[in-house]
Amino acid sequence: MISVLGLVGKAFIFPEETATSHVVLSPAQPLNLRAFTLCMKVASELPPNREIILFSYRTKYYDELNVWQEFNGTFSLYLSGPGVHFTLPKLNTFGSHMCVTWESKSGLTAFWVNGKRSQRKVLRPGHWIQPQGIVMLGQDPDTFWGSFQKAQSFVGEISDLYMWDHVLSPSIIQNVYLDHSFPKGNIFDWKSLSYKCTGNVIVPSKL
């Protein structure tokens, strides 16, 4: 069953390591992208030496857009294969606000943590993220609709997820972090998100 709900003040809670529990998100428009900004709040007590999938978008044959914590504690963005790695503050029980930006023309990409930008790096200039895939939280599908690995699953809380089909300005990213006024997410918007939970995922009525 797909729910379309405002999730303000709520979260997706993944209480345990599994090879099944996940959330599929239905975008407001296809992920046919030459640029994007993805933001979310993440809280986790998983150790920094464990792979953690934070966001997965897979088409039939490729992992189009994945955000990871790696074995060595770095954070990574992958676009259909190649990736870039960033040294960021580790995840914690109190939560971090994290944004990722990328645009195709220059390939420039960066992470933002609690309103502060990392150094910029270059990833796949000229690349085009393809539509007709599946967006998932909690698991990294190794095939189009499954083949999950328990050791890569997310355990913790994810909330306030937004995505745009362009790179937001630094001032707007600050507003997203501070929960001030900012434009509606035209791909995903936490205030009106279409999603389907499978397995042990808790969406409490009020935090």
Domains contained in the chain, number: 1
pLDDT digits (tens, 9 = 90+) for 44-92: 999 989 999 999 999 988 899 999 999 999 999 999 988 999 999 999 9
What is the reported pTM?
0.95
What is the spatial distance between Cα 129 and Cα 146, in angstroms, rounded to a whole number?
21
Residue 61 domain flag: yes
The secondary structure of the chain as a DSSP string is --EEE--TT--EEE-S--SS-EEEEE-SS---BSEEEEEEEEE----TTS-EEEEEEE-SS-EEEEEEE-TTS-EEEESSS-EEEE--PPP-TT-EEEEEEEETTT-EEEEEETTEE---EE--TT--B-SS-EEEES---SBTTB---GGG---EEEEEEEEESSPPPHHHHHHHHHT-S-PPPSSEEGGGEEEEEESS-B--S--
Residue 182 domain flag: yes
Residue 207 domain flag: no
Residue 104 domain flag: yes
Residue 203 domain flag: no
pLDDT digits (tens, 9 = 90+) for 127-143: 999 999 999 999 998 76
Residue 77 domain flag: yes
Residue 89 domain flag: yes
Averaged confidence pLDDT in the chain: 94
Range of the domain at 45: 3-198
Residue 152 belongs to a domain with what CATH number?
2.60.120.200
